[in-house]
Structure 1
Amino acid sequence: MLSLAPALSLFLFLPHVFAASADQWKSRSIYQIITDRFALSNDSSATCNTEDRIYCGGSWKGIVNHLDYIQDMGFDAVWISPIVKNIEAETAYGYAYHGYWTQDINSLNSHYGSEDDLKSLATALHARGMYLMVDIVVNHFVQNPSSNSSTLPQTFDYSGLSPFSAETDFHPECFITDYNNQTNVEQCWLGDSNLPLMDIDTENSTVVQEWNSWVTSFVNTYSIDGLRIDTVKHIRKDFWPAFASAAGVFTIGEVLTDNITYTSDYTQVLDSVLDYPTWYPVVQAFNTTSGNLSAIQSAVTQAQSSYKNGLFGTGAFLENQDQPRFQSHTTDTGLVKNAISFPFIHDGIPILYQGQEQGYTGAADPFNREALWFSGYQEDKDLVTHIKAVNTARQLAVNASSSFLTTKMSFVSQSDVGAIAISKPPMLALLTNVGSSGSASWSVSGVYNKGETVVDVLTCKTYTVDSSSGTLSASADSGAPRIILPTSALKSDGTLCASAAGTSGAMSVNSVSRGALGISLVAGLILTFL
């Protein structure tokens, strides 16, 4: 019998073969992690007061130990915080536990673990058919001023920075004062005199060459499948195409603005952006029972026509490490479930920030960066169950329709001002902001066939589309959303509303579509070399 050992050994030393394109990312859903706050290596319960702004001990090894938790919710990609070496000294705003205060891009942040630990994380993800996304900061480095003064320029010791260790590698010190002046935004510094974020001179051809060479090596060394890029709007737009090409993987940029036209420019130079322009109206629509649902439609339709690829492939999210958690605005269960559901009907890639599923309520930074180990990683919680259902429903829609990922979501007009209906065949999201004490109803025509049986995957309640008018009528229970699929779409997954699907004992879509993907990829590689 031929031994697999030599092939397995060879597999471990193969170059990065999991690098994923933008199209491959579109079917994914992402779980966002702040490494220091997700899981400890030994599963102890270390204290972690967010207000202290210190390292709490989360690690890459801790992430590996809790991949079942992430995958069980239906996520098949993980976004981790920046991995490179940060400033070690305490700053005016605490320690760099979050990873965004770079000092050396050629070294790893040892607080999170060793190089082997990081590579083991990539290997563990790929074995499950999951992708690894890593956050990176290109715009700036951080060093405490040699002498703290409000008078500019301040003095800095550049010798501890790598590879940009000369003053000429940075723009002259000036703080951004005018966000309507793009040169000011790109060439002046973020931060303040207490903690200046030293703006790298990306007009310098030597600096550009260094960045492009570095990112190629970085992606291949750590088997990275995608990059989330911080503070993209603070670097000239024509820097990004060559950088993204050098990376060779999916790139998604942070452009912090509600301006769709402004954001659209960055969709021309990177694969994608985080969809902040839609995030703003979504939060405002669902954080109160008087929110404006129509503003969501306005933002979505404008973005669909403005962005290079519409909203396809953009990052759809409700929370992240930079913004107050949604439940710091409201803890009304009805509102929360509707808001959490929106990214999963969105044209883009759903992103869930760690702690949302556990109902964390932290407001602005640093309070929104709570340690997840305090939750015990409980899976028998209402929001965890809700997220599993909407995530699985999206994957079922992907499996059921080859055009799901390329069909624009559209809005079906409703007479109820507290209700909104979003169609993305074969999925239909019936959302409302009336809250858990309110009532709402929907009437949707032309989405499903006359007489067709559909199911709300959140309650497993079935509906029959009117055989004469083709209208689907539904109402909300305690202000909860309805996520509708044809019962025919459930037949591949008896674990979601098994009675409606008419199946029993079927393996879940997570086990088949995702886990088997990893096994088949590895097996294929092994067989190639036998």
Structure 2
Amino acid sequence: MRSLALSLLLGPTLALCASSDEWKSRSIYQILTDRFALADGSSPSCDTSERKYRGGTFSGIVNKLDYIQNMGFDAIWISPVVQNVEGDGCKRVLIDNTTYASPYTQLISSILDYPTYFAVFEAFTSTSGNVFRFAETAQQTQKQYKDPFAIGSFIENHDQPREQGYQGVSDPDNREALWLSGYNTENKPLLTHVTKLNAARKAAISSNPDFLSTKAIFHVQQSSSSSTHGLAISKPPLLTLLTNGGEGDSSTGWTVPGNDDNEEGGGGVFEGGETLVDAFTCKEVTVKSDEVLR
């Protein structure tokens, strides 16, 4: 009877666990539970320098799920509300070396992709950033990780500015209470940007059954001054154009992969004369026959 009771108890619990393939399609919102929301909806002051618990709860999170879902997220990553254990324990693979990180992917289904994160940070925090290194690192992850499509990519966390315009900096200043923002969604550029990114990703998944298992193709772009500021990334049906040339930079000409390309990861997807739509501005651009955007 005890075995049967245990089986009945565990059955529904196990059924709620998503598989690695199911997680691949999800956008995950990371929550510092103690600083996200209080159960009673109040907004007390929060002096991060005191390094004290402020009372955020799981109930508070439940009450604010609409805020998260409206940004396009469909999963949350919650931190414990109990005191963390000091000393050695499970650690993030916090390193910028793909060769060092890749063996961990042989042992566990997923890790946070810090090598790519550090490469992105280096490439786009100044106009002299190394865009080529970012492309090289991303290509290495596609080759070296056991399942590169199950790896956790991230663009912000509690160590960086977040959707409400908080400044991040370092511990403990990066632990501001989100309730002080009032969960306002108006005039929040980063929040709007993330929402549009999630929408574009969901649309791509919906339109291409192979999107989640398609490797990206990277094309480093040369500017008119022969410096490297731009990077075109093709992952059908999305084409991502990135530049560290600064706001208003027009020196980079964009060459996109055409159907005759034969690069690792797949051929091109854009025909001459094809119209592409900017996911952020809805502006239309046309692919010339020589695969140059105009």
TM beyond 0.5: yes
Please tell me whether the aligned partners of residues 270 and 287 of structure 2 are also in contact (alpha carbons under 8 angstroms): yes
TM-score by length of structure 1 reads: 0.49
- Give me the identity figure in percent: 51
Q: Distance in 1 between matches of 2:248 and 2:285?
A: 23
**Unpaired segments of 5 or more residues in structure 1?**
1-9, 87-100, 103-141, 143-196, 201-229, 232-253, 328-355, 475-530
Amino acid at match of 1:81: S
Shifted more, 49-58 versus 429-438: the winner is 429-438
Aligned length, in residue pairs: 270
**Unpaired segments of 5 or more residues in structure 2?**
1-7, 259-268
Structure index of larger Rg: 1
Residue of structure 2 equivalent to 1:331: none
Q: Distance in 2 between matches of 1:399 and 1:440?
A: 34
Query: Is 1:448 paired with 2:270?
Result: yes
Residue of structure 1 equivalent to 2:19: 21
Please tell me whether the aligned partners of residues 283 and 318 of structure 1 are also in contact (alpha carbons under 8 angstroms): no
| Correspondence 1:21-420 to 2 at 5 A | 21-83=19-81, 85-86=82-83, 101-102=84-85, 142=86, 197=87, 199=88, 230-231=90-91, 254-309=92-147, 311-321=148-158, 324-325=159-160, 327=161, 356-380=162-186, 381-416=188-223, 417-420=228-231
TM-superposed CA distance for 1:430, in Å, is: 0.3
Query: Is 1:429 paired with 2:266?
Result: no
User: Helix, strand or coil: the match of 1:268?
Assistant: helix
Distance 1:298 1:15, change over 3 A: closer
Q: Distance in 2 between matches of 1:370 and 1:77?
A: 22
Amino acid at match of 1:454: L
Distance 1:437 1:51, change over 3 A: farther
Please tell me whether the aligned partners of residues 256 and 292 of structure 2 are also in contact (alpha carbons under 8 angstroms): yes
Deviations 1:345-367 (A, max 9, x none): xxxxxxxxxxx111211211111
Q: Distance in 1 between matches of 2:30 and 2:13?
A: 26
Q: Distance in 1 between matches of 2:61 and 2:139?
A: 37
Amino acid at match of 2:163: E
Q: Distance in 2 between matches of 1:304 and 1:75?
A: 24
Q: Distance in 2 between matches of 1:365 and 1:443?
A: 42
TM-score by length of structure 2 reads: 0.86
TM-superposed CA distance for 1:260, in Å, is: 1.3
Q: Distance in 1 between matches of 2:251 and 2:240?
A: 14
**Greater share of strand residues, 1 or 2?**
1
Please tell me whether the aligned partners of residues 230 and 243 of structure 2 are also in contact (alpha carbons under 8 angstroms): yes
Please tell me whether the aligned partners of residues 455 and 463 of structure 1 are also in contact (alpha carbons under 8 angstroms): yes
Deviations 1:223-256 (A, max 9, x none): xxxxxxx41xxxxxxxxxxxxxxxxxxxxxx211
TM-superposed CA distance for 1:440, in Å, is: 4.3
TM-superposed CA distance for 1:303, in Å, is: 1.7
Amino acid at match of 1:60: F
Residue of structure 1 equivalent to 2:262: none
Deviations 1:108-150 (A, max 9, x none): xxxxxxxxxxxxxxxxxxxxxxxxxxxxxxxxxx3xxxxxxxx
After TM superposition, what 4+ stretches of structure 1 lie above 4 angstroms from structure 2?
Answer: none
Q: Distance in 2 between matches of 1:65 and 1:262?
A: 41
